[in-house]
Chains A and B, each alone.
Chain A
C-alpha cells in the first residue's frame, strides 16, 4: 500500500512538474494516473460562478454538518446541529438552548453520522436534510431554506442511533435503528443477562409534508442484535425499509471476536405499509417513555422543548408479515437499494463478497413461506431463495454502495482502500480506483435515490496519512472527488473535511437557490422580546432580572448606554437586528460574558444572558463587520454593587 502511494505521489508530482515546465506538452507522462491540467480545469469554478452541486457532509464527532461546493471542494458553511457553536451563538443563546434538551438533560454535543436529504417521488427535493445523533439517540432536521437546524427529536428505547435517518421515497418516514441493544425499557439489568433481557428497536419517525414536523410514529421491537445501517425501498420495493445487523451472536463483551462468529447475519426487511395497517387496527402497544421533541420557529426565532411520555410499539410476533430476515454474510455494514428498487446490496464487511438480494425473489420466498427458521416471530428467509447474485472477491472490506443511475454500482472497500465499480445486473467488476487511505462512505449526488444526478463521486476517507503536512497527530480526513461521467473513474481533487465525515449527500445548487431565505421579515418577527423599532428599545427590571430590549442597525445599538445594573442581576440582552438587507447580520458581545456572542440575522431576535460578577463598566460591541463605521458600533453597561442607589437608566444619543 505504502509503496503504491509513494509511486502514485511521485507520478503526480512528475506530471505536475512536467506540465509546469512545458505547458504545451501533453500530460500523457502522468502514466494515465491523473491528467493534472484536465483535472484542475474540471474543478475550477471561476470567481462569481456557483458550484454545480452542494454537498452536505456529516461532521462526525464535531456534531455538525459541513456544506461544500462540488466540484470545487470549497467549504461554504458549518451548520450547527448537535453541538454548541460559539461562532453563531447556537446552543448558547436563550433561543437555541432548548434544541439541545434531552431526557438526559442539556447535551451540547453528539456524533453525527448520516445526512439524508428529503425526497419526493424518490428524488432529493431540496426541502430538508436530516442527520442522526449517534451517541444520545436523536435525529435533527435542517431547513434548507435557512440552513439552520429546525427540529431535533430524541429516540427512546435506543442505545446508539446508528442506522439512521434513512428516508422513504416521499419523506413519509425517517428511520432510526439502535446500534446497541439495551433493556427496553432501560433499567438496571445484569450485563450477563444480555441474551434474555436486551432488545433492539427500529423506529419510524413521520415527517409532516407541509411543516416538516417530525413525530415518533412507531417502533418495532426486534431481537437484541446490533442494527447498523439502513435504506428504504423504492419503486417496486417502496413500502419497505432494510436494516443490516451484526452480532446475531448476541455477544456483549469483546465484540470484535464475539460478534464475528456467524457466517451470516441478517438484513431485516420491515414492511412499513403493513405496520400502518397494524397501527390502524390498534395492534400497537402504548409504552411509557421519556424523550424530547425540540422545534425552532422562524416566527418567534425561538425553540421549544417538549417532553413526550409514550411511544407506540409493534411486536413482530403479534404482527405477521411485518419483519423478515434475509441472511447476509458476514456482519454486513451498508445495505443499499439500487434506483429500480429491485436489488438490495448487503456489504459484508468481514466478507470479501457482496450479496445482492432480489426484492422480487424475496416477495416470492415470502409467498412460498420459504423459511429457514423463525426468530421471535420473525421468519428467516432462505439465503438461496432471496439471493440474486454475488459480487465475488471484488476487494477487501466492502462497506457502502451508491449508484449512478446507469446500471452501475460503486462500492467502497475499507481494507483494500479503493472504490470498485460493478454492473448491477451482471455483478461484473468494470473499474476500480485507489483512495488515500481507508475509505468509509462514498457518495454520488442522488446516489441512493431513484434518479441519481451522477457525474461525481466523493470518497470519504478515514485516514489521510501523507495527504497534508503533519500539523498534529490528527490530520484532516480527506474527501476525494472523482469524475464518473466516463467509463473510468477519474480522480479530480481532494480536500480536507471537518471532524470525521461519515456519510454525505449532495444535490444540484439549483434546488437550493430558489428556496433561500435571505432576510427574516421584521413584520413577521413574533419573538416575545423583540423590539421592532428603535423607539421600542428600553430596559426593564423584574426583580433581579434586567431585560434589555435592544436594536441594532448600521452602525449603532439602541440603547448604547445602560446604568443601574447590579451585581447578582441576570441581564438578558434581547437584540433585534432591524436590518432588512441581505447579508447584514449584527453581533453582540460583552466583556467577560461566560457563554458566547450573539450573531443575529437581519430581522431576527436573539437573547444573550449575562450575569456580571463584579461592579465596573463593561463595553459591548458588534462582532460582525457591518459597515465602514462597524468599529463605532459599541456601547457601555455600568454595573454597580448590589443594593446600590444607581437608578436603572439607558440612552441612545441624548434620548
Chain B
C-alpha cells in the first residue's frame, strides 16, 4: 500500500479547463458504447473518438477490475467494521450529500450498490482524486459526460475515504 497522502497533487479544475474537459467528455460520450443519454453533441473528430472508444472498450470490459487513478492501488477488505461504517456515514453526510443520495439521482449518481458496480480502489480514488479521475479514468470520464457537473474535491483523507467505503459496504449488504 502506498504511503498516506492526505493532499494528493491534483490539477485544479476551473474555468476554461472545465469547459474543455466538458467538451472532450462530450466528444468522447458520443462515440462511446456506455449508453450515454447526454451524448447528443456530435464531434467531427472521429480519430479521437475512435481512440477513446478503444480505450473505453478495453477498460470497461469489467468495471470491477478497474482500480481507477489515484493514490489507492490496493484495499484489504475484511468483514464490515460497524464502527468505521458509522464514522463513514457522518463523513459522507457532511461532505457528499450536497450532491449524492443513495436512492435517487441528484447532482451526481445514486450510490446504492456502488460496491457491486465499482472496485473498492476505484471508489476511494474517485473520492480522493476526482479531478484526475475525470481526466484519465474511462469510467469517470463517462460519468462526467453523463452528469456534466464535475465531482467536487472535498480533500478527504485516505482514512476517511476508507471509512466512507465501509459505509457504502454496510449499506449495500443490509439492503
Q: Report which A residues bind B (CB closer than 8 A).
A: 519, 522-523, 532-535, 551, 553-556, 558, 578-584, 625-629, 653
Would you list 11 pairs from A and B whose C-beta atoms are within 8 A, ordered by A residue? Answer: A534-B97, A535-B93, A535-B97, A553-B152, A558-B98, A578-B95, A579-B152, A580-B153, A581-B12, A581-B153, A628-B149
Q: Which residue of B lies closest to A582 (CB)?
A: B12
Given contacts A580-B154, A580-B155, 7 further A-B contacts (CB under 8 A): A519-B155, A534-B97, A579-B154, A580-B152, A580-B156, A581-B152, A627-B149
**Minimum-distance CB pairs A-B, first 3:** A553-B98, A580-B154, A534-B98
Could you tell me the distance between the alpha carbons of A553 and B15 in the complex, rounded to whole angstroms?
16
Bound: A582/B11 CA distance, A: 11
| Nearest neighbor of B25 in chain A, beta-carbon distance | A628
| Distance between Cα atoms of A535 and B92 in the complex (Å) | 12
Interface string of B93-118 (1 = CB under 8 A from A): 11101110000001100000000000
Most buried by A among B22, B93, B98: B98
> Measured between alpha carbons, how far is A309 from B150 in the docked complex, in Å?
54
Measured CB to CB, the nearest residue on chain B to A535 is B97
Q: How far is the CB of B24 from chain A (nearest CB, A)?
A: 12
B14 within 8 A of A: yes
Specify the chain A residue showing the minimal Cβ separation from B94.
A533
Instruction: Give which listed residue, B12, B98, B154, B156, contacts A583 with CB less than 8 A.
Output: B12
Q: Which residues of A contact B153 (CB under 8 A)?
A: 580-581
Q: CB-CB < 8 A to B99: which residues of A?
A: 553
Q: Is the CB of A583 within 8 A of B97?
A: no
Contact A625 B14 (CB under 8 A): yes
Residue pair B152, A554 in contact (C-beta under 8 Å): yes
Instruction: Select which of B13, B14, B107, B148 is within 8 A of A556 by beta carbon.
Output: B107
Expressed in whole angstroms, the minimum distance between the Cβ of B151 and any Cβ of chain A is 9
Shortest distance in angstroms between A110's beta carbon and chain B's nearest beta carbon? 34
Return the contact of B94 from the options A519, A523, A584, A628 (Cβ within 8 A): A523
Complex Cα–Cα for A534 and B13 (A): 23
Q: Which residues of B contact A653 (CB under 8 A)?
A: 106
A522–B152 CB distance below 8 A? no
With A522-B95, A534-B98, A582-B12 as given contacts, are A628 and B152 in contact (CB-CB < 8 Å)? no
Interface string of B140-165 (1 = CB under 8 A from A): 00000000111011111000000000
- In the complex formed, the residue of B with least CB distance to A578 is B98
- Interface SS, A side: loop
Query: How far, in angstroms, from A627 to B16 measured CA to CA in the complex?
Result: 9
Q: Is the CB of A628 within 8 A of B19?
A: yes
Q: In the complex, which residues of chain B have a beta carbon less than 8 angstroms from the beta carbon of A584?
A: 14, 152
Residues of A within 8 A of B148 (CB): 628-629
Query: Whose C-beta in chain A lies nearest to the C-beta of B97?
Result: A534
Chain A residues with CB below 8 A from B97, complex form: 533-535
B18, CB-defined interface residue at 8 Å: yes
Residues of B within 8 Å of A626, CB to CB, are 14
Do most interface residues of chain B lie in helix, strand or loop, or is the interface mixed? loop
State in angstroms the CA–CA spacing of A555 and B153 once bound together: 13
Structural contact, A625 and B152, CB atoms closer than 8 A: no
A36 → chain B closest CB, angstroms? 34
Q: Are A554 and B149 in contact (CB under 8 A)?
A: yes
Complex CA distance for A224 and B99, rounded to whole angstroms: 65
> Measured between alpha carbons, how far is A533 from B13 in the docked complex, in Å?
23
Chain A residue, CB-CB nearest to B106 = A653
Task: Check B93 against A533 for contact (C-beta < 8 Å).
Answer: yes
CA distance A534 to B154 in the complex (A): 14
CA gap between A553 and B149 in the complex, in Å? 11
A550 to chain B, nearest CB (A): 11
Structural contact, A532 and B94, CB atoms closer than 8 A: yes
Q: Which residue from chain A places its CB closest to the CB of B22 in the assembled complex? A: A628
Q: In the assembled complex, how far is the CB of residue A627 from the closest CB belonging to chain B, in whole angstroms?
A: 6
Minimum CB distance partner of A519 in chain B: B155
Task: List A contacts of B21 (CB < 8 A).
Answer: 628
Q: Pick from A532, A625, A627: contact of B150, CB below 8 A.
A: A627
Which residues of B have CB within 8 Å of A580?
95, 152-156
- What's the nearest-Cβ distance from chain B to residue A523, in Å? 7
The closest CB in chain B to the CB of A581 belongs to B153
| Chain B stretch 11-51: residues in CB contact (< 8 A) with chain A | 12-15, 18-19, 21-22
Smallest CB–CB gap between A305 and chain B, Å? 31
Chain B residues near A555 (CB, 8 Å)? 107, 149
List, in ascending order, chain A residues with CB within 8 A of B98's CB.
533-534, 551, 553, 556, 558, 578
Chain A residues with CB under 8 Å of B155's CB are 519, 580-582
* Cβ-neighbour of B154 out of A558, A581, A627, A628 (below 8 A): A581
Chain B residues with CB below 8 A from A534, complex form: 97-98
Q: Say yes or no: B94 contacts A522, CB within 8 Å.
A: yes
Please report the C-alpha to C-alpha distance between residue A580 and residue B127 in the assembled complex, in whole angstroms.
12
Kindly list chain A residues whose C-beta atoms are within 8 Å of the C-beta of B107.
555-556
Cα(A627)–Cα(B19), bound, Å: 8
B residues in contact with A628, CB < 8 Å: 18-19, 21-22, 148-150
For B19, B21, B93, B95, which residue has the most chain A Cβ atoms within 10 angstroms?
B95
What residues of B have a CB within 8 angstroms of the CB of A519 in the complex? 155
Assembly CA distance A578 to B155 (angstroms): 12
Q: How far is the CA of A554 from the CA of B96 in the complex (A)?
A: 11
**Which residues in B have their C-beta under 8 angstroms from that of A558?**
98
List chain A residues, Cβ under 8 A from B152.
553-554, 579-581, 584
Chain A residue nearest to B13 (CB atoms) is: A627
Which residues of B have CB within 8 Å of A625? 14-15
CA distance A66 to B3 in the complex (A): 40
A553: chain B residues at CB < 8 Å are: 98-99, 152
Give B153's nearest chain A residue, CB to CB: A581
Interchain CA distance A519-B6 in the complex, whole Å: 14
Contacts of B22 in A (CB 8 A): 628
Q: Which residues of B contact A523 (CB under 8 A)?
A: 94
Q: Distance (Å) between the CB of B8 and the closest chain A CB? A: 12
A522 and B160 CA atoms in complex are apart in Å by 14
- Chain A nearest CB from B115 CB (Å) reads 22
- The distance in angstroms between the C-alpha atoms of A348 and B156, with both chains bound, is 59
Cα distance A583–B149 in the bound complex, in angstroms: 17
Distance A582 CA – B18 CA, assembled complex (angstroms): 15
Give the residue name and chain of the A residue nearest to B147 (CB). A629
Which of A558, A581, A625, A628 has most chain B Cβ within 10 Å? A628
Q: Bound complex: CA of A583 vs CA of B98, how far in Å?
A: 18
Instruction: Give the CA-CA distance A625 to B13 in the complex, in Å.
Output: 12
Instruction: Kindly name the residue among B97, B150, B153 whose own CB sees the greatest number of chain A CB atoms within 10 A.
Output: B97
Q: B107 — nearest CB in chain A belongs to which residue?
A: A556
What residue of chain A has the Cβ atom nearest to residue B92's Cβ? Answer: A533
Least CB distance, B89 to chain A, in whole angstroms: 11
C-alpha spacing A582/B7, complex, angstroms:
11
Query: Roughly how many angstroms separate A653 CA and B154 CA in the complex, as a whole number?
Result: 22
Q: Quick one: which of B55-111 are within 8 Å of A by CB?
A: 93-95, 97-99, 106-107
Q: How far is the CB of B21 from chain A (nearest CB, A)?
A: 8
In this complex, the member of B12, B153, B154 whose beta carbon has the largest number of chain A beta carbons within 10 angstroms is B154
In Å, the complex CA distance between A625 and B15 comes to 7
Closest to B144 in A: A628
